Amino acid sequence: MSQQADTKGWTREEMAQRLAQDIPNGSYVNLGIGIPELVARFVPQGRMFIYHTENGLLGMGPSPEEGDGDPELINAGKRHVTANPGAAYFHHADSFAMIRGGHLDLSVLGAMQVSQHGDLANWSTGKPDAIPAVGGAMDLVAGVKQVFVITQHCTKSGEPKLVESCSYPLTGRGIVNRIYSDLAVIDVTPEGFRVVELCPGVDFQSVQERTGAPLLPAEQ
Amino acid sequence: MSQQADTKGWTREEMAQRLAQDIPNGSYVNLGIGIPELVARFVPQGRMFIYHTENGLLGMGPSPEEGDGDPELINAGKRHVTANPGAAYFHHADSFAMIRGGHLDLSVLGAMQVSQHGDLANWSTGKPDAIPAVGGAMDLVAGVKQVFVITQHCTKSGEPKLVESCSYPLTGRGIVNRIYSDLAVIDVTPEGFRVVELCPGVDFQSVQERTGAPLLPAEQ
Amino acid sequence: MIDKRVVSAAEAVADIADGSSIMIGGFGEAGSPIELIHALIDQGASDLTVISNNTGSGQVGLAALLKERRVSKVICSFPKTLNSTVFPELYREGFTELELVPQGTLAERIRAGGAGVPAFYTPTAVGTPLGEGKESREFDGREYLLEYGLTADYTLIKGLVADIHGNVLYNKTARNFAPIMASAADVTIVQATTVVEPGVIDPETVVTPGIFVDRVLEVAEPAHESELIAAGECYP
Amino acid sequence: MIDKRVVSAAEAVADIADGSSIMIGGFGEAGSPIELIHALIDQGASDLTVISNNTGSGQVGLAALLKERRVSKVICSFPKTLNSTVFPELYREGFTELELVPQGTLAERIRAGGAGVPAFYTPTAVGTPLGEGKESREFDGREYLLEYGLTADYTLIKGLVADIHGNVLYNKTARNFAPIMASAADVTIVQATTVVEPGVIDPETVVTPGIFVDRVLEVAEPAHESELIAAGECYP
C-alpha cells in the first residue's frame, strides 16, 4: 500500500467510481470479488445498473444490515446480499448461459497480470503447492461483451501488473478491453496499451515506469 | 376396417387397455397422437401414471368439458387438456431434455411400419409432394427408455405393417421394444418378432400370414 | 430508469429489416404473438427467415405473414397443422424454403444459440433421412449427430405478465419456445397481457429474466388464432 | 399412489455403494444438503467421487465427508473457501484427486448429462491451462473446446418445498446447481424443509419437476454450515 501512496494515485473507491462513470444506463454487470465489488457503490446520477451474480441472481442489491442476512441469499464471494425489485433467481446452467451467451454487458474483474494483448491472469499463481481454484472467471472472460479490469497498477512489492506477456497461468486470451488502475485508465488496443486518462497529478512517464510494456499516449 | 373385422381382433380400446396393463405404477409416459391417446383412458386399478406432453407439461390430465378449454393449455396434438395436481409447466428445451435424457419411462407411438430389427417409420410417406413434418417423434424414439408401438396389424388395404425392412423413411433405427396390434402383442427381440400374446380367437398362423417378416412363437 | 416498454406494436417491430431472421414463439396457437406478427405484416419487411415450431393456421398470424409472401425460409419441426394451407402452397411453388428440424433438436439448437454453445451432439435423427449428410460421431459406442446453435436477429413472443425490466411469466403451455427464443435473438420483443412495475413478480417465479428482453408491449386482450379462424378472419 | 417420501435420512442414502459418484448441490453453504451428507457419513460408503462446486468449510457437511476419507476424487470449480482446510490437506497428501472445471463448464456439463447431450463445444478456458490437451475446433473463426456431459449415480440436494411426486421449489440462491444435478443422476434425493401433497405447488412455479426426483425427505429445520462452524461443531 505504501507503494501506491507514493504515487498519489486514485484510492480504490476513486478507481471504482471512475469505472462506474463508463457504464451506460441499463447495463447488465457482473462484479468480481474484491475491488470490483466497490463499483456497486457508485452509480452515477440518472443511471441504473442491474447486477448479476453467477451463483444465480440477477438484480442483486446491497448487503443487508448486519444480522439480517439469509445464508441462502449470497453472492459469488459467498457474502450476504439482497435482491432488488425486479430480481430473478435461476440455476447455474441458466446463469452461465447468460454469461457464455454474451448477454451480460460488462464483467469487472481483478487481475494479477494483464498483457498488452489483453490476456488476463487472475486465478492462480501456478505454484506447485497452490490449491487450484478457478470458479467462474474463465467463463466470464469468454462470454461477457466487455471485460474491464480494476486493479492496483503494481503488486505490493512494486512489480508491474501490466506486462508484455503474462507469466502467471491465463484466465483468458485477448479478452481485456480496459484497465482501471490507481494511476490511469488504459485501453487494450491492437497496438498495445493506450492511456485514456491519467490520475490527476500523475504524469505519463511515471505510469510508463511502473508498466511492464510500452504505453501509447492518449489519442488527441 | 373390414379387414380388421374379419380377423375378429381387439378393438382400438382393447389394444389400449392391453398396453396399459404393461405399464408399471408411477411411470412417466408420453402418448403419441391417435390410438396412443386412448391409453390414458385405461389406468389399471391401484396404479398411477404421469403423462408428459412434449409441448411443455408433466401431469397432463383428461380433456376438459366442451367449452371449458384454455387455448393455451393443449397437448402435442394441439387439443385442449387439463393439468392434474402435481403438474409442472416448462419450456421446450427442458421438455426435450426429459425426453433425450432418458427420464421418461415409456413412449407410446403409432406406426406406418415396424421392422423386425425395431426400426420405426411413422412420420412420412416419402412421397415427393408430401409436406414433410416430423415434430417430436424422432426425439422420443431416440431418448425414451422404452418405445411401445400401438397399431392396426395391417394397413386399410391389407398390407402388413410389421415388415422385414421399412420402405418408408425411418423415424428411428432399432428402437421399438414391443408392438400392440389388434391381433397380438409382439416383442422385438434380437432374433426378430416374437409373439407374446395372441388376441383370443386369433391363431398364430393367421397372424403370421398378415405379417411381413417371420414370427417366433411365444416362449413357454 | 430502466423501462423497456414500447407504446405500440408498430413501434415494437419498426426496425425489422428485409432479410432478417426472426424466431416466433408458439406451439400451435398457444403462445403465438399474433398482434406482433400482424404489426410485422403492416410494417412490410420481406425476405424473412422464420424460426418457429409450426407455420400457422388459417389466414391470420404466422400463416398470414407467409401468405403475404414475406417469408423466404422457415426453420420448423411441423409445418402442417389443421387448417394449414398457406405454407404447403408456398412450399410446393418453391417460394418458401423449408429446413425441417426435429422438435427437440430445434429446441436444443435455440437453447445452445442463446447459451453461447456453437454446437452439440444429439442422438435424435440418427439413421433417418433428417440425419443424412450430417457429421456424426460415436460416444460410448452410440452414434450421435453434430447440430449447431441457432440464433436470430429478432424474437417475437407472447407472455402473460411482464415487468418493465423485461421479466416474463407465461400462461400454461404457451410457454413452449418463448424462454429459449428470448435468449437466442439480438432483439427480443415481448407482448404481454399485463405489464407491471419491477417487484410485482416474485423473483423465485420469473421464467424469462429481463436480461433476455429488449422491448415490452402491453396487449391487454390478445386474439386467439382459433377464434379468429372461427370468425372467418383474414389478415390484413 | 405415487409417494416418493422416505422416513429418514438414513433410509434416503442407505443404498449408496462404495465407489459411487455423487453430485452434491450447494454453492458455499447455500443449498448444501447437510443432513443428507451427514447420513452418508454415518452410512459409511467410501471411495466416492463427489461432483460439487466447492469442497465445504470447517468440519461439517461436505468437508466432514472428505475428512472421513470417503472421497477419492472431487470434480469441482472452487475447492478452497474461507475455513476450508480439509480438502487442501487431502489434496496435498495425494489422497483425494481433483478435476478442476470452470464453474460454467461444470454447470453445462451437468446440464448436458441430464439432457442426453454427450458432448458440446464451449469457448471457456481456451488458451488457458485448463484447456490444455482438450480437443478444440473452430466455429465461425473462433476456437472452442469439446466438453463432455457429466452424470452420476446419485444426487443429493436441498429444497425449500417439495411435494410427494418430487416437484421442488428452492430458497433464493440455494437453487444453484440443484435443478441440473437432479436431472443428471440415476437416483436423486431431495431434502426439503416442507413436504406437501400434489397440487399445493403452483405448476407454473415448479423449478424441478418430479420426473427428476426419486426420494423426498422432510428436514424441517435444516442446519446451516456457518452456524455449525460458529458453534464449533465437528461431524461426526
Residue range C40-60, pLDDT digits in tens = 999 999 999 999 999 999 999
Subunit partners of chain D (3 or more CB pairs within 8 A) = A, B, C
Q: Round to whole Å and give the CA distance between C124 and C130.
A: 9
CA-based torsion, C30, C35, C36, C42: positive or negative: positive
pLDDT above 90 covers what percent of chain B? 91
What is the model's pLDDT at position B128? 85
Q: How many domains does chain C have?
A: 1
| Average pLDDT rounded to a whole number, residues A110-133 | 94
Do the domain assignments include residue D137? no
Do the domain assignments include residue A220? no
Do the domain assignments include residue B39? yes
pLDDT above 90 covers what percent of chain A? 91
Q: Which amino acid is at D73?
A: K
> Torsion angle of alpha carbons C86, C88, C94, C99, nearest 10°?
110
Contact: C203, A103; criterion CB under 8 Å: no
Can you give the residue range of the structural domain that contains B76? 12-215
What is the model's pLDDT at position C149? 98
Q: Is residue A68 exposed (0-12), middle (13-18) or buried (19+ Cβ within 10 Å)?
A: exposed
> Three-state SS for D172?
helix
What is the model's pLDDT at position C84? 77
Q: Round to whole Å and give the CA distance between C175 and B15.
A: 34
Do the domain assignments include residue D16? yes
Q: Round to whole Å and give the CA distance between C5 and C24.
A: 19
Please give the helix or strand (H or E) that residue A3 lies within, else none. helix A2-6
Option in D121, D142, D148 nearest C117 (CB): D121
| Average pLDDT rounded to a whole number, residues B118-126 | 95
CA-wise closest residue to A98 among B89, C182, D24:
C182
Q: Are C70 and C95 in contact (CB under 8 A)?
A: no
What is the model's pLDDT at position C159? 98
What is the model's pLDDT at position C221? 98
User: Which residues partner with B154 through β-bridges?
Assistant: B160
Subunit partners of chain C (3 or more CB pairs within 8 A) = A, B, D
Can you give the residue range of the structural domain that contains D79? 9-119+151-220
Do the domain assignments include residue B3? no
Contact: D209, B58; criterion CB under 8 Å: yes
Do the domain assignments include residue C129? no
Nearest-Cα residue of chain C relative to residue A46? C1
- The answer, yes or no, to whether residue B4 has pLDDT greater than 60, is no
pLDDT band at B5 (very low <50, low <70, confident <90, very high): very low
Do the domain assignments include residue A7? no
Q: Is residue D148 exposed (0-12), middle (13-18) or buried (19+ Cβ within 10 Å)?
A: middle
- The answer, yes or no, to whether residue A200 has pLDDT greater than 60, is yes
- Cell reading at A130: 497452490
pLDDT band at D68 (very low <50, low <70, confident <90, very high): very high
Subunit partners of chain A (3 or more CB pairs within 8 A) = C, D
Do the domain assignments include residue C208? yes
Helix B92-100 to helix D103-115 angle (10° resolution) is 60
Q: Is residue B63 exposed (0-12), middle (13-18) or buried (19+ Cβ within 10 Å)?
A: middle
Do the domain assignments include residue D157? yes
- Chain C residues lying within 8 Å of A48, measured CB to CB: 1-2
**Could you say which residues from 136 to 195 on chain C have a Cβ atom under 8 Å away from some Cβ of chain D?**
139-140, 142, 144, 148, 169-170, 172
Contact: A131, D224; criterion CB under 8 Å: no
Give the domain CATH number at D58.
3.40.1080.10
Contact: C128, B173; criterion CB under 8 Å: yes
- Cell reading at D68: 472421513
Do the domain assignments include residue B5? no
Contact: C124, B143; criterion CB under 8 Å: yes
Show which residues of B are catalytic: 54
Q: Are B161 and B111 in contact (CB under 8 A)?
A: yes
- The answer, yes or no, to whether residue C83 has pLDDT greater than 90, is no
- Chain A residues lying within 8 Å of D87, measured CB to CB: 131
DSSP-derived pairing of the beta strands C185-196 and C152-163: parallel
Contact: C77, B133; criterion CB under 8 Å: yes
- Chain A residues lying within 8 Å of C109, measured CB to CB: none
Do the domain assignments include residue C31? yes
Interface membership of C118 toward D (CB under 8 Å) = yes
pLDDT above 70 covers what percent of chain D? 100
Do the domain assignments include residue A42? yes
Show which residues of A are catalytic: 54
State yes or no: chains A and C have 3 or more CB pairs below 8 A. yes
Do the domain assignments include residue B139? yes
Give the DSSP letter of residue D83: T
Give the domain CATH number at B173.
3.40.1080.10
Nearest-Cα residue of chain C relative to residue D144? C118
Do the domain assignments include residue D197? yes
Q: Round to whole Å and give the CA distance between C32 and C159.
A: 10
- Chain D residues lying within 8 Å of B50, measured CB to CB: 2, 165, 210-211
Interface membership of C204 toward D (CB under 8 Å) = yes
Do the domain assignments include residue A3? no
What is the model's pLDDT at position D85? 86
C-alpha distance from B61 to closest chain C C-alpha (Å): 13
Give C88's contacts (C-beta < 8 A, 6+ positions apart): B131, C79, C80
Q: Are A74 and D27 in contact (CB under 8 A)?
A: yes
Q: How many domains does chain A have?
A: 1
b/e per residue C81-91 (b: at least 16 CB within 10 A): beebebbbebb
Do the domain assignments include residue D111? yes
